[in-house]
Structure 1
Amino acid sequence: MGMSVTISAAAETDAEQILKLQYLCYQSEAELYGDYSIEPLTQSLDDLRAELGSGCVLVARLGEEVVGSVRGTVDDDGTAVITGLIVHPRMQRHGLGGRLLGALETRLAGEWAARRFRLATGQRSEGNLRLYRKWGYEPTGTEEVTRKLTLVTLEKEATAVAFATSA
């Protein structure tokens, strides 16, 4: 490939690339659940820009191209909610999702004082569930969103971050 992927904080100027990548990445989820009205496919650029300003958003770049992204916010109780982990389809299954997740966990625990991490994915999203379990997340609950979609919530304590990032 000749270039390495770098991970850094997202800039306001990344919003359009993140939104386009998000649209591409969530097509498979929409197909899996038979629902193309899911929020990642209907989010506006303005809404995404607002997210960029209200939490921690990281991007993975290959040269100038954004090939991955992840977002997180921390509430008053120290719970970090992680959302929007996306990796370009051509870059998947090479560890980039894990690198993004680990980088976000480290940043949220350090700069944002997160004490625990929470994320959610659909019950049929086996690749996502496998990744999250590999990174130490344990299922803590489910929520039926529609007849076809049940979200699985997974969590882990921030103390597990040091182990996961050193593994």
Structure 2
Amino acid sequence: MGTSVTISAATDQDAEQILKLQYLCYQPEAALHDDYGIEPLTQTLAGLREELATGCVVVARLGDEVVGSARGTVDADGTARIGKLIVHPRLQRHGLGGRLLAAVEARLSAERAATRYRLHAARRGDGGLRLYRSHGYAPVPAEESGHRLGRITLEKPATAQAYATGA
């Protein structure tokens, strides 16, 4: 890759690059489900900036370019909800998704007292399910209603930090 990819906390200055990357990365999921109205494709810049201000957002940078991102929040019972883990298509399958996942998990535990992590993945099509299982996530019954078909809820305890290296 030449220049090393670094992972750090996202800033407001990253918002436009994150939004463009998000739009690029969610095109295959939208096509798979024939649904281009999914939230990652309709999110506004103002909405993303609100997430940056209130949530935990990490980015991967290759030089000045944002090439990956992951987000999370922690609710009152200590459950961290991780979402929008994205990696630029040209850098996928090189371990960057796992590094981003470990980085957001570590920050959610250290800064927001997460006791468990929860996320959603497509049952087919994007390789995310394989990544999450390799990082200790296991399927759980979905508690939330209204999720699109083809999604699975996965969870792991926050004490399962064996993968937080290299963040």
- TM class by shorter chain equals over 0.9
For residue 106 of structure 1, what is the aligned residue in structure 2?
Answer: 106
Q: Residues 126, 87 of structure 1: CA spacing in aligned structure 2 closer, same or farther, 3 A cutoff? A: closer
How far does residue 164 in structure 1 lie from its aligned partner after superposition?
A: 2.4
Q: Which moved more, 1:87-96 or 1:133-142?
A: 133-142
How far does residue 107 in structure 1 lie from its aligned partner after superposition?
A: 1.0
Task: Give the aligned CA root-mean-square deviation in angstroms.
Answer: 1.5
How far does residue 150 in structure 1 lie from its aligned partner after superposition?
A: 2.8
Q: Percent identity?
A: 65
Q: Would the aligned equivalents of 1:144 and 1:150 in 2 still touch at CA under 8 Å?
A: no
- Any idea what SS the aligned residue of 2:118 has? strand
Superposition misfits of 4+ residues, deviation over 3 angstroms: 142-146
Quick one: distance in 2 between partners of 1:145 and 1:28? 18
Q: Would the aligned equivalents of 2:69 and 2:87 in 1 still touch at CA under 8 Å?
A: yes
The equivalences for 1:1-167 within 5 A come to 1-142=1-142, 145-146=147-148, 149-161=149-161, 163-165=162-164
Quick one: distance in 1 between partners of 2:53 and 2:130? 30
Quick one: distance in 1 between partners of 2:126 and 2:28? 12
Q: Residues 96, 10 of structure 1: CA spacing in aligned structure 2 closer, same or farther, 3 A cutoff? A: same
Quick one: distance in 2 between partners of 1:105 and 1:129? 17
Q: Which moved more, 1:124-133 or 1:88-97?
A: 124-133
In structure 2, the gaps of 5 or more residues are: none
- Any idea what SS the aligned residue of 1:83 has? strand
Letter of the 1:30 partner, please give it. A
Q: Residues 115, 145 of structure 1: CA spacing in aligned structure 2 closer, same or farther, 3 A cutoff? A: closer
Quick one: distance in 1 between partners of 2:88 and 2:154? 23
Q: Would the aligned equivalents of 1:71 and 1:82 in 2 still touch at CA under 8 Å?
A: yes
TM-score (norm 1): 0.93
As a proportion of its length, which structure holds more helix?
1
